[in-house]
Amino acid sequence: MALVEATAEGLLCAAGGFYIDPTGSVTRAVVTHAHADHARPGSVEYVCAESSLEVLRARLGDEVTLVGLGYGERRRFGDVVLSLHPAGHVLGSAQVRIEHEREGVWVVSGDYKRERDPTCAPFEALPCDTFVSEATFGLPVYSWPDPTEVVRELFAAWRAERAHPTLVFCYAFGKAQRILAHLAELTDEPVLLHGAMEKLTAAYRRSGVTLAKTEPVSDSASRSDYAGRLVLCPPSAHRSPWMKRFKSPQTAFASGWMAVRGQKTRRGYEHGFVLSDHADWPSLVRTVEQTGAKRVLVTHGSSEALARYLREARGLDAVPLGQLYEGDEGEP
């Protein structure tokens, strides 16, 4: 028996009577984090990490029923004991640990990373029998530089350009706030925010995360105001009418995809900063090792490649679990 199985509705734990990050509307959804491909509206009840309550409400609306669990807090559902543990991906992200008398311990990682991120609790490696891992960047070519250094470079590129604005494109939930948290360690100067980022940034602040000062872009009156300013905006704003207000901006994209040669130029950015909220190849392999799991089920992205490596080089029972999610950092 599989304690967790892939169904049309998403990952089902029948013994516990819940789905994990369901794609459809279900009675009980255990949600690993608030990215749109994991937390969808329409379910009756959402079980989530306590630290994700503010961001989940910002995403799903105030009327949803949320049950927040502290990290490590054990709760019985049907025949299983469930607990949530830090995944280090974004604020409130969680791995789902499920314990069953006969089936042992299963851990569903959700999205995760191992690098330092001042906006969320660090990933915790959990011993288990079966580990369900993501593999968004599951190819050896992906190996991240130190994120503190990357944001230092971003800061230096901004500081070097005083005559024109600097536009950094990045995902509105997670990446933007991570950059702001790193910048808070470097400067008191306020950063301009695209409107699409305000609600979630406010939810981070309500959750107690320290971020650099921000101002909405719309409050800046004239073009000359933008000279020398740093602006964070979502990738969808690139080459949009919204962007026309900025005179000769220098542009940059902050993403794991910037690790691939030629991506920056192909996408039309002057700078590329390699900054990902997902595990790189060395972290994926190291994490699987640390869990001690004999069976690994791989979702997201390059699941075939990672599963094959784990079988052939590590002798594990590893198979892809199908493409369940689009991936928040999926190829746009």
Phi, psi of 26 (to 5 degrees): -130, 175
CB 121, CB 113: distance < 8 Å? no
CA–CA gap between residue 91 and residue 95 (Å, rounded): 13
**In this complex, which beta carbon is closest to Zn ion, that of residue 7 or of residue 187?**
7
> Are the beta carbons of 22 and 7 closer than 8 angstroms?
no
| Interface segment toward Zn ion; rule CB under 5 A; list 104-112, 213-221, 245-253, 301-309 | 104-112
Q: Which stretch binds Zn ion (CB under 5 A): 138-146, 215-223, 302-310, 318-326?
A: 318-326
Q: Which of 99, 103, 111, 280 binds Zn ion (CB under 5 A)?
A: 111
Please report which residue ranges of the chain form alpha helices under DSSP H. 53-60, 147-159, 175-184, 198-206, 263-266, 281-291, 303-312
Say which residues have a Cβ less than 8 Å from residue 88's Cβ, sequence separation at least 6. 112, 113, 114, 115, 117, 120, 121, 122, 123
Nearer to Zn ion, 103 or 328 (CB): 328
91 token code pair? 């604020």
d(C-alpha 41, C-alpha 324), whole Å? 17
Torsional sign, CA 322, 112, 47, 172: negative
Q: Decide if residue 103 touches Zn ion (CB under 5 A).
A: no
3-state SS assignment for residue 242 = helix
Applying CB under 5 A, the span of 30-38, 96-104, 163-171, 258-266 interacting with Zn ion comes to 30-38
Stretch that binds Zn ion, among 14-22, 103-111, 206-214, 218-226 (CB under 5 A): 103-111
- Looking only at the bridges linking them, the beta strands covering 45-49 and 66-69 are parallel
21 binds Zn ion (CB under 5 A): no
> Taking CB under 5 A as the rule, does residue 35 contact Zn ion?
yes
Size of the site for Zn ion (CB under 5 A): 4
Considering the complex, what minimum distance in angstroms separates the CB of residue 277 from Zn ion? 7
Residue 35 or 97 with smaller CB distance to Zn ion: 35
Residue number with CB closer to Zn ion (35 or 100): 35
Query: Could you tell me the smallest distance in angstroms from the CB atom of residue 89 to Zn ion?
Result: 6
Q: How far is the CB of 20 from Zn ion (least distance, A)?
A: 12
Contact 157, 166 (CB under 8 A): yes
How many residues in total does the chain contain?
332
Largest CA distance in the chain: 67
Q: What are phi and psi of 165, to 5 degrees?
A: -75, 155
User: What's the CA angle centered on 295, arms 8 and 68, to 5 degrees?
Assistant: 60
Q: Which pair of structure tokens corresponds to residue 307? A: 């599963």
Shortest distance, position 69 Cβ to Zn ion, whole Å: 19
Q: Coil, helix or strand for 247? A: coil
Q: Which is nearer to Zn ion, 94 or 230 (CB)?
A: 94
The piece of 154-162, 179-187, 227-235, 321-329 that touches Zn ion (CB under 5 A) is 321-329
Stretch of 33-41, 65-73, 159-167, 200-208 lying at the interface with Zn ion (CB under 5 A): 33-41
Q: Which residue has the tokens 């536009």?
A: 167
328 binds Zn ion (CB under 5 A): yes
CB of 227 to Zn ion, least distance (A): 35
> Is position 194 an interface residue for Zn ion (rule: CB under 5 A)?
no
Min dist CB 134 to Zn ion, Å, is 7
C-alpha triplet 277, 282, 284: angle, nearest 5°: 60
- Cβ nearer to Zn ion, comparing 32 with 251: 32
Q: How far is the CB of 296 from Zn ion (least distance, A)?
A: 17
Listed ranges 27-35, 113-121, 159-167, 314-322: which one lies at the site for Zn ion (CB under 5 A): 27-35
Q: Site map for Zn ion, 269-308, x if CB under 5 A?
A: ----------------------------------------
Give residues in contact with Zn ion (CB under 5 A). Answer: 35, 111, 325, 328
